[in-house]
Structure 1
Amino acid sequence: MEEFALSFWIYMGVMSVFVGGAMQKMLAAHIRAAPTLVAWLGATVLLERLCSLWLPGALLLALLGAACCLFSPQRRLPAEGKVLLITGCDSGFGKATAQRLDSLGFEVIASVLDLDGPGAGELRRTCSSHLTLVKMDITQHEDIQNVLACTKAKLGLRGLWGLVNNAGVCVNFGDAELSLMTTYRGCMEVNFFGTLNVTKTFLPLLRQAKGRIVTISSPSGEQPFPCLAAYGASKAALNLFINTLRHELGPWGVKVSIVLPSSFKTGQCTNFEYWEKQYKNLLQDVSPSLLEEYGEEYMLETKELFQTHAKTAREDLSPVINAITDALTVSHPKARYYAGPGVGLMYFIHTYLPTSFSDRFLQRLFVKKKVVPQALQRQLQQKRE
């Protein structure tokens, strides 16, 4: 009877840890959909079946201990004396991250494009004297070297604890065939080559401190979002580079994380004058033959869809800022952070469901196009006749 009671309480303890862990992870990740719950319930049922076989008490205790280790809160590392470099702090994620990490006691070096701009001014007003503002365009090697010299002067004999690769652009507009080569090159120059140059430049200081690299990427670098070919291709190259670094820098003690946000109001996404300018540039530079085959109506709809999507983007940046902070402060950061509602569901669909379903999901999620290109309209008309 006593053996039965002991097994029962062990069983209940293991079940509570698993179910509680599932709920904790879903709430922390802001996931509203069912896939994560289904996966955890499956694991719970499997464990329940194992327990029903009356496994030895020692094994059940070992399972309970492993589960407790898995779900126990991680130790937070102290911020005192640690220096961080954050790129792209004029606005959005970069500015908010600089403010958060400065408030935690880190010595933040925040790079901006404009030292006299509103973003830099706000950082001066809201942050402590430990924050250092530097001018850096990550596509300019001279700027990067100047920031390196400034960082070394601030560090002294210390290493650099963290690099947050936040600076990036989304200058994409329209279908892959319609997107200009200057758009492809512009995205690659900033999102990939610029971040690559910054990371390589500061790696010796990061290795010295056994520090952290946190890179803000995008789900479009791993999933085929319609009308985001140029931006997505640059982020895909960035993801592969960062993931390779994660393997290579492990022996050096440097931990590498990628943050994959959902849609947030940052950068130019809410600047409708920007979208109008992009649209006019596209009409002027696209070849006459392509313009005739796709039609202005089709291209106009794409611009309006981008603007509509921008209006629905989230203003609360905290999921991304929390992920960055976690990657810099916990003892064992994750390799990937899904930041924002729905990102976990999107990756679940992309990974486990048929491609046809995943494609339809992305089309409905991002750009719900209704206008058919003129050339296809003519073909459909000919078939009817």
Structure 2
Amino acid sequence: MMDDYNLPVWIYLAVVTVFVGGAMKKILASHLSAAPPLVAWLGATVLVERLWALCLPALLLLTLLALACCLYSARTGPPPATLSTHGKAILITGCDSGFGNAAAKHLDALGFEVFATVLDLSGDGARELQRTCSTRLTLLQVDITQPQQVHQALLDTRAKLGLRGLWGLVNNAGVCVNFGDAELSLMSNFRGCMEVNFFGTLSITKSFLPLLRQSKGRVVTISSPAGDQPFPCLAAYGASKAALNLFMNTLRHELEPWGVRVSTILPSSYKTGRCSNQSYWEQQHKQLLQSLPPALLEDYGEDYMAETKELFHSYARQANPDLSPVTDAIVQALLSPQPQARYFAGPGVGLMYFIHSYCPFSISNRFLQKLFMKKKLMPRALRKQSGLDLNLSLHNNNNNNNNNNEEEKEEKHK
């Protein structure tokens, strides 16, 4: 019987093997803690089950299992040798705080010549970098949304590098200026996110590409999983990061012939910038309430919007204060002989992408909602509609009961 279906079986086997092998390779490269062996063996179990159902030889099953073990061993083996930092110059944007500030200090300590852009040369972040870093570090005042400031940064960097090229550009500067449903988000929020996260990063990347091509260097961009997956209440931020992700993916293909490698880092939740500044978000919330049309505010309700604000505050309080997974990923992208196209920085990100890539949409969507915004309130208009429907249902039930009672009485009289 097997001989009659030999060719289709082997085609099916090839497809299943490629699918499960790709899934295992992806999850093993996703920097999870205890999840890699668990998910890898889960994939191997599924594969074995399918092969067993096809009655294929046990020797082939053992061979495939051995291959899975080899993949895992290769993943957990000694790390490959990294490139030297000697003579390598890096420019990092957005170093006033957060990832940029931490990366500037870390890369300076490793021996890089660091050009760190800040919005305010007299701010706390700039003063901290001047105080803690070596004389190799150069501070540049740059708002990446201002072309003249970007151009001046290019001239200053060129003047200091001389005939040398720039080894790495770390695109870190970014903003998240909205929280709430897309319908409630101001158009200025969408434009603000796009102006900084996409157009600003595009501007500085294009400006510094000649220096990067000269040294066959690296472009490393801090993006967000919100650019690939539909996080509730982050439409403006996610849309800007989606544009950024697509641009970087395209750039990676275009710069490959030049020897320039492009990597994107996708962090989990960390305490950076304004995310833990409660007064800032209170001010944003108050401004939003004042700017919404009365009819829209009535449909959603102030209590619904207040719950969203509190959920964001709670999420920010639980964020990880240790930024080292992101700075370590930046170092890997800059110094690895074969840098990855994507780095998942922080617990849970790789698992999230695995579920998003390989599970049905209904499962990945439910996982995302449970992971991020666990809202309990519905918009006010839906609550009213639900209450009206419930009242109508109760009214109809009462009418039916009364009609039944009348019919029973009539039956008794008969």
- The TM-score normalised by the length of structure 2 is 0.81
Kindly indicate whether residue 220 of structure 2 is the aligned counterpart of residue 214 of structure 1: yes
CA distance in 2, matches of 1:167, 1:308: 24
Q: Which amino acid aligns with 1:167?
A: A
- Report how many residues are paired: 358
CA distance in 1, matches of 2:62, 2:285: 66
Deviation by residue 1:26-65 (Cα, 9 ceiling, x = unmatched): 6981434366433664599699x99935999xxx99x979
Aligned to 2:40: 37
Aligned to 2:79: 73
Which 5+ residue runs of structure 2 have no aligned equivalent? Answer: 1-23, 392-414
CA distance in 2, matches of 1:53, 1:351: 28
1:296-307, aligned counterparts within 5 Å? 296-307=302-313
Aligned to 1:132: 138
Secondary structure class of the residue paired with 1:79: coil
Q: Which amino acid aligns with 2:270?
A: F
Identity %: 62
Aligned to 1:344: 350
CA distance in 1, matches of 2:115, 2:61: 57
CA distance in 1, matches of 2:58, 2:209: 48
Kindly indicate whether residue 224 of structure 2 is the aligned counterpart of residue 224 of structure 1: no
Secondary structure class of the residue paired with 2:35: coil
Aligned to 1:86: 92
Q: Which amino acid aligns with 2:93?
A: T
Q: Give the deviation of 1:382 after TM superposition.
A: 1.5
Higher mean C-alpha displacement, 239-248 vs 284-293 = 284-293
Which 5+ residue runs of structure 1 have no aligned equivalent? Answer: 1-21
Deviation by residue 1:248-267 (Cα, 9 ceiling, x = unmatched): 00000000000000000001
2:122 to 101, 116, 140: 116
Secondary structure class of the residue paired with 1:29: coil
1:302-313, aligned counterparts within 5 Å? 302-313=308-319
Aligned to 1:106: 112
Deviation by residue 1:211-267 (Cα, 9 ceiling, x = unmatched): 000000000000000000000000000000000000000000000000000000001
1:360-379, aligned counterparts within 5 Å? 360-379=366-385
Q: Is contact 1:31-1:343 (8 Å) kept? A: no
1:187 to 187, 193, 199: 193
Aligned to 1:52: 59
Distance 1:80 1:181, change over 3 A: same
Deviation by residue 1:45-102 (Cα, 9 ceiling, x = unmatched): 699x99935999xxx99x979x869956322111111110000001110011011111
CA distance in 2, matches of 1:38, 1:377: 45
CA distance in 2, matches of 1:276, 1:248: 43
Deviation by residue 1:335-373 (Cα, 9 ceiling, x = unmatched): 000000000111111111121221111111111111111
Q: Is contact 2:96-2:120 (8 Å) kept? A: yes
Q: Is contact 1:215-1:257 (8 Å) kept? A: yes
Q: Is contact 1:31-1:345 (8 Å) kept? A: no
